[in-house]
Structure 1
Amino acid sequence: MVEQHNNTFTGPDYVVFVLLLCISAGIGIFHAVCGGRQKTTKEYLVADRSMSAIPVGMSLVATFMSAVTVLGSPAEIYYYGTMFWWFGLAYTIVSLLTAYVYMPVFYKLQVTSVYEYLERRFNRKVRLLGMGTFQIQMIFYMGIAIYAPALALNEVTGFPLWGAVWACGLVCTFYCTIGGLKAVIWTDVLQLSVMWIGFLLLIIKGSIEVGGISEVFRIADERGRIDFVHFEFDPRVRHTFWTINVGGGLLWLAAFGVNQAQVQRYLSCKSLRHAQGACYFNIFGLNMVLLGVVLSGLVMFARYSDCDPYTAGWVGATDQLIPYFLMDIFGDYPGLPGLFVAAIFSAALSSVSSGLNSMATTISEDIVKPYFNPQESTYTWISKGLVLGYGLLSICMAYIVSATGSEVLIIALRLFGMIGGPLLGLFSLAIFVPWCNSKGAALGLITGLAISFWVGIGGIFNPPPGVRLPVSINNCTFSNPDPTILPYASSSPPMTSPWTPEPPMERTGLQVWWYGMSYLLYSAVSVTATLLVGVITSFITGAQKPNELEPGLMSPVCDIFLCCLPEKFRRVLWCGVRHDEESTKGNTESVEGGYENKTFEEERYNENHDTKL
């Protein structure tokens, strides 16, 4: 029989948690007083372009492995099974596409803001439109990244809700403001290491509790959690090979290929070779996190296979399962629960710090520098002030999220994916379609956003029928069962939970095939809409002439994927773009396999101030 535990945080747990925050703040102080002391924007925003592959690769992994992911993904395995494991293939494909197709374009142009590229490719209006879309996306995400883990931990461990929010927000804001991107990257290294240690200890201790890892897989297999063979083409199935690797792949390509938070890390590398090496490490790191997620979800299910805490009413939401589980198995070991809470908040800190730095960079590079042309020292202080302001804004957003209730929280989480797809479509138009003009790009982005919001929000208010795998509370011990609160707390509770699919309600074709599609396909739909509308509009309004484009603005995809073809055939596939000519403006020279050149923003800045950045 399984009994409800009442373990809460103790003094040693708080000590361990505070220690992590102090070390993170210390890293910021170190980079504020050593080296160049963050006096120039080059050092502050792109780490002086001096970083090597491994720390940047670890930072890439940590950036979007948020606390929401750490809390929610094991519960995904718990209730839906191991089809989630196919994300490992999606991560690999996405990282390789990023390394050889998307990232080299930005790196060779040496942009600081990825939206500077959009102005060089189209015009300033498209640049500001893309940047504004990114700002909306990240502002929502910041509040969620802080509030969601704090709420889950407060409900289960008794950890003070707003104490956690303020601690996370202020510490993150502090080290980002004074330490710049170097501090963000090295704290990411620390925080990812803590996350890996947390997963490892949870898996080892949890599997011992149920009789070993072989017993974990036996129970999971008997209850239908081990499943890798969904290859159907039905878009309504939540997780299939195709929805994960096509839809999920595009979702993560938007995050790793064109998102400012990630591109800024590539640009901090000392050479293109190091930036590509960071992408390779990203494959390893993401798959290690995925392994931890899958195994911890299976171990947790083996522990509660006959007593689901959510169905039993012991937790109020599925993202509270992991903190409940860790307090269950480690509650008698002072300090260890604090380590796991530190691991969860490490994920939150890495996501928030990346967001603060990237949002401040886009405002600095896309608005402050082009319109106000401040002196170098002033510009650096403005960038630091923006980081500070965004840090306080993220804490305010946490309060707003808390007031909206859980349903709007779910909507806000989906907004991140719904906005990422159209942005990926916009950059793909710019990089791969030489005929696309500024009107096509702008209308394509707007159309993609409209369609993405339509299907995403419609899917929330018209959810598909329940598809969770059955769970049980047959082995639960209820000390004070209350049938009015817990209808299943009886002497003979049912074998399965209320999520067993009910008889289907009457649904229209739109509800079945549009709102009922897998959430992973939202990005695929919006990317497709953005590309189609962008291309059609461009030809209607007067297509861009490919031979007039600066060659470095386009990716020579045929040279990458069809390198075995004779050169004369590859030239035809260039579609008129002059890839054999000098690909960047200004003086360009090789630097350890990379490139160093001045962007047109820097050239204009230098003309006004007669200085070099």
Structure 2
Amino acid sequence: MAAPGDVGTFHAWDYVVIATVLIISSCIGLFYAFVGGKQRTSKEFLLADRNMNPVPVSISLVASFISAVTVLGTPAEIYRNGTMYWLICVAVILTGIITSRTFLPIFYEYEISSTNEYLERRFNRKVRHVGTFLFFLNTLLYLGIVIYAPALALNAVTGLNLWGSVAAIGVVCTFYTTIGGLKAVLWTDVFQVCIMLAGLLAVLIEGSMRLGGLTEAWRIADERDRIDFWNFNPNPTIRHTFWSLAIGGAFQWTATYGTNQTQIQRYLSCGKKSTALWSLGLAICGMVVMLSIVCLVGIVMFAFYADCDPYTMGYVSASDQLLPYFIMDLFGDRPGLPGLCTACIFSAALSTVSSGINALTTITGEDIIKSIWPNIPESTYTIIIKVTACCFGIIAMLLSYLASQSDAILQATISVFGLVGGPLLGLFSLGVFFPCVNSYGAAFGPLISLGFSFWVGVGAIIYPPDSNSPSLSTELCVEGNTTQYISTLAPSIVDDPYPKIASFYGLSYMWYGGFSWCICILFGLLISFATRHNDPKETDVTLHRPIVDAFLCCFPPKCTDVCRCGVGESETIKEEDKFKEHLRNGTYDVTVAGLSFRSVEANNTSM
């Protein structure tokens, strides 16, 4: 370990490694700008011609999941609060099952480019605009912090220039996304995941070797009460339990992987539903592996600093600086290796930002530009969406500057990311699972839910709940100004006690998505029944995915028919009447309830 608080700065070779990663990412964009169709059509630019292999798509899904916030925040979470967060892997698996059985098949029923096209077909254009608003709010607020957070952490620990890092991430992302389209985004994600994996494994292996092996690191963490997977307390105010991580986390990640344009666009690039399902399955496996590696890094990092916590000593000023500090402590005297591990964090930021820019461009083009100019020439449309992608890259960099103006923006933005996802998931759930919901319920339910979720989220910032983190030791630290640092980092004493309503804000942040989803469903149904709800028997069966069909398809029809609420019964009756009419009139082809019938002659039919 280096001298306390002094872990060195970057060398020339570290900058060379980071520059190489950025240059290769840009070259991938250049390659796809000059091969294939050269991004001359919107289909190629936005959806990679719908012919992508499932492997790069699945790796790209993993890259979007492992953002810079995840790479920095997850080891710090394990370090400070133990291994309970590792159970988020259960939520990831549940998300894969739910998405593959419900939302993904619905989106593949139609050749859509924007997920909000489904909302217009199910409800109307106004509801589509609500979906557009929620997606913009969700994504734009997130992009700024994804650029700024890693740059700030690296600047504080390594001396890497703050705004130089922001500009590097923003400019490179914007460049290869604008010229190379979705193909460039997907293949740069593949390259960046390799860099992430190399950097994380380097930290994990070197840290474990310094401690005498991964088993020893686990033993130290276990002795200090950091190994815990068995909290099944149903109390929703406890920050992390099995239920909040598995069930609450499933709401949050299903909002992202089941209904968010950023991920759905990748499924649609596969062209076939079977290929998309393969990519989703591979991605879920990849996410679990990457999450496990990141969590193990957190365990090793805790064991390394078990008796000299750099956060308490004031060597770092925020928990998201712990991993960069650990990297410099391990590799500070080996030029090039800190650059590789830092490139891991840069790659995580690049993959997330490029995905967001591409998705924002698609939504803008399909939901806004085409609604204003429905008969726009293809060549003109392609040029406009490329310019739009460039503009969103600039906006993301500007938002990173706004993020720098607030100390609490990191917590606030992550909370918003979860809180907006719940209403968005609720909106699509109203359409897919509740055929009785009309356009009024679909339009106002998510907006009311958004109001409630912001109320809880802002309240939790004003009256933050106690995280009850286990204690951290400084027993073996070199004596110095420890008392000064501890007093600086300790929370200030509040003269006025929290008001009674503050207990309402104690809801675990992992339940934000589930809470806002429930509010959306509740008000969506209430408003629909108060404003002449839809008749399920008259609805288009292709726009719905009853729960029984998704998860209880092996049950006998007598059990499942009741739960379908009569969806499509009128359509089936009409087809049956049409079938009988054809029996009387002659030869025909007709389909009833998914079964094909053919008449040979008026009184001699076969099925």
TM-score w.r.t. structure 1 length? 0.90
In structure 2, distance between residues paired with 1:580 and 1:325: 65
In structure 2, distance between residues paired with 1:504 and 1:221: 38
The aligned counterpart of 1:364 is 365
- C-alpha change, 1:96 and 1:505, in structure 2 (3 Å) is farther
Match among 512, 517, 532 for residue 522 of structure 1:
512
The aligned counterpart of 2:11 is 10
Q: Which runs of 4+ in 1 moved over 4 A?
A: 501-509, 579-582
The aligned counterpart of 1:161 is 162
- Contact kept in structure 1, 2:113 and 2:268, CA below 8 Å: yes
How many Å apart are 1:504 and its aligned residue? 13
Residues 353-362 or 464-473, more deviating: 464-473
What does the per-residue CA deviation read over 1:409-431, in whole Å, with 9 as the maximum and x for residues that have no partner?
Answer: 32122111111111101110010
In structure 2, distance between residues paired with 1:521 and 1:421: 10
- Contact kept in structure 2, 1:312 and 1:488, CA below 8 Å: no
In structure 1, distance between residues paired with 2:440 and 2:423: 15
- Contact kept in structure 2, 1:425 and 1:530, CA below 8 Å: yes
SS of the residue 1:486 aligns to: helix
SS of the residue 1:108 aligns to: coil
SS of the residue 1:477 aligns to: coil
The aligned counterpart of 1:402 is 404
- Contact kept in structure 2, 1:168 and 1:345, CA below 8 Å: yes
**Paired letter, 1:398:** S
How many Å apart are 1:567 and its aligned residue? 3.5
**Paired letter, 1:486:** Y
The aligned counterpart of 2:244 is 243
1:511 aligns with 2:472: no
**Paired letter, 1:377:** S
The aligned counterpart of 2:254 is 253
In structure 1, distance between residues paired with 2:294 and 2:537: 48
- Contact kept in structure 1, 2:49 and 2:269, CA below 8 Å: yes
The aligned counterpart of 1:453 is 454
The aligned counterpart of 1:390 is 392
1:26 aligns with 2:27: yes
How many Å apart are 1:488 and its aligned residue? 7.1
The aligned counterpart of 1:594 is none
The aligned counterpart of 1:412 is 413
The aligned counterpart of 2:312 is 311
Residues 147-156 or 4-13, more deviating: 4-13
In structure 1, distance between residues paired with 2:273 and 2:495: 54
Count of matched residue pairs: 570
Alignment map for 1:78-227 (pairs within 5 Å): 78-227=79-228
In structure 2, distance between residues paired with 1:86 and 1:358: 29
Alignment map for 1:595-606 (pairs within 5 Å): none
In structure 1, distance between residues paired with 2:246 and 2:495: 29
Match among 362, 381, 384 for residue 383 of structure 2:
381
How many Å apart are 1:571 and its aligned residue? 3.6
**Paired letter, 1:396:** L
In structure 2, distance between residues paired with 1:581 and 1:72: 52
The aligned counterpart of 1:494 is none
- Contact kept in structure 1, 2:312 and 2:486, CA below 8 Å: no
**Paired letter, 2:116:** Y
The aligned counterpart of 1:267 is 268
How many Å apart are 1:487 and its aligned residue? 5.0
How many Å apart are 1:255 and its aligned residue? 0.8
- C-alpha change, 1:180 and 1:581, in structure 2 (3 Å) is farther
**Paired letter, 1:169:** G
Match among 534, 548, 554 for residue 544 of structure 1:
534
In structure 2, distance between residues paired with 1:353 and 1:283: 21
In structure 2, distance between residues paired with 1:398 and 1:508: 34
- Contact kept in structure 1, 2:537 and 2:570, CA below 8 Å: no
How many Å apart are 1:352 and its aligned residue? 0.2
In structure 2, distance between residues paired with 1:172 and 1:503: 44
The aligned counterpart of 2:588 is none
The aligned counterpart of 1:323 is 324
TM-score w.r.t. structure 2 length? 0.91
In structure 2, distance between residues paired with 1:409 and 1:302: 26
- Contact kept in structure 1, 2:120 and 2:128, CA below 8 Å: yes
In structure 1, distance between residues paired with 2:467 and 2:437: 42
**Paired letter, 2:485:** L
In structure 2, distance between residues paired with 1:434 and 1:364: 29
The aligned counterpart of 1:52 is 53
What does the per-residue CA deviation read over 1:531-559, in whole Å, with 9 as the maximum and x for residues that have no partner?
Answer: 01001111110111223322221114312
- Contact kept in structure 2, 1:203 and 1:296, CA below 8 Å: yes
Q: RMSD of the alignment, in Å?
A: 2.1
What does the per-residue CA deviation read over 1:199-241, in whole Å, with 9 as the maximum and x for residues that have no partner?
Answer: 1111110011112112101110010000011001111111001
SS of the residue 1:3 aligns to: coil
How many Å apart are 1:104 and its aligned residue? 1.0
**Paired letter, 2:247:** V
In structure 2, distance between residues paired with 1:422 and 1:391: 26
- Contact kept in structure 1, 2:7 and 2:325, CA below 8 Å: no
What does the per-residue CA deviation read over 1:63-96, in whole Å, with 9 as the maximum and x for residues that have no partner?
Answer: 1321011001100000110111111111001011
- C-alpha change, 1:214 and 1:379, in structure 2 (3 Å) is same
- Contact kept in structure 1, 2:314 and 2:486, CA below 8 Å: no
In structure 2, distance between residues paired with 1:186 and 1:322: 27
- Contact kept in structure 2, 1:109 and 1:552, CA below 8 Å: no
Q: What are the ranges of 5 or more consecutive residues in structure 2 without an aligned counterpart?
A: 573-607
How many Å apart are 1:107 and its aligned residue? 1.6
In structure 1, distance between residues paired with 2:412 and 2:530: 36
In structure 1, distance between residues paired with 2:392 and 2:263: 18
How many Å apart are 1:369 and its aligned residue? 1.1
In structure 2, distance between residues paired with 1:509 and 1:249: 30
In structure 1, distance between residues paired with 2:338 and 2:158: 9
In structure 2, distance between residues paired with 1:557 and 1:29: 45
What does the per-residue CA deviation read over 1:230-274, in whole Å, with 9 as the maximum and x for residues that have no partner?
Answer: 001111111001111111110111111100100100100131111
**Paired letter, 1:473:** T
- Contact kept in structure 1, 2:538 and 2:571, CA below 8 Å: no
- C-alpha change, 1:57 and 1:504, in structure 2 (3 Å) is farther
In structure 2, distance between residues paired with 1:487 and 1:184: 44
1:343 aligns with 2:347: no
- Contact kept in structure 2, 1:251 and 1:523, CA below 8 Å: yes
SS of the residue 1:9 aligns to: coil
**Paired letter, 1:90:** A
Residues 409-418 or 439-448, more deviating: 409-418
- C-alpha change, 1:503 and 1:396, in structure 2 (3 Å) is closer
The aligned counterpart of 1:36 is 37
- C-alpha change, 1:488 and 1:416, in structure 2 (3 Å) is closer
1:531 aligns with 2:521: yes
Match among 565, 568, 588 for residue 555 of structure 2:
565
In structure 2, distance between residues paired with 1:308 and 1:569: 58
In structure 1, distance between residues paired with 2:494 and 2:368: 55
**Paired letter, 1:454:** W
**Paired letter, 2:266:** R
- Contact kept in structure 2, 1:206 and 1:303, CA below 8 Å: yes
In structure 1, distance between residues paired with 2:546 and 2:190: 33
Alignment map for 1:452-491 (pairs within 5 Å): 452-478=453-479, 481-482=480-481, 485-486=484-485
- Contact kept in structure 1, 2:248 and 2:513, CA below 8 Å: yes
- Contact kept in structure 1, 2:82 and 2:225, CA below 8 Å: yes
- Determine which structure has more spread, i.e. the larger CA radius of gyration: 2
How many Å apart are 1:134 and its aligned residue? 1.0
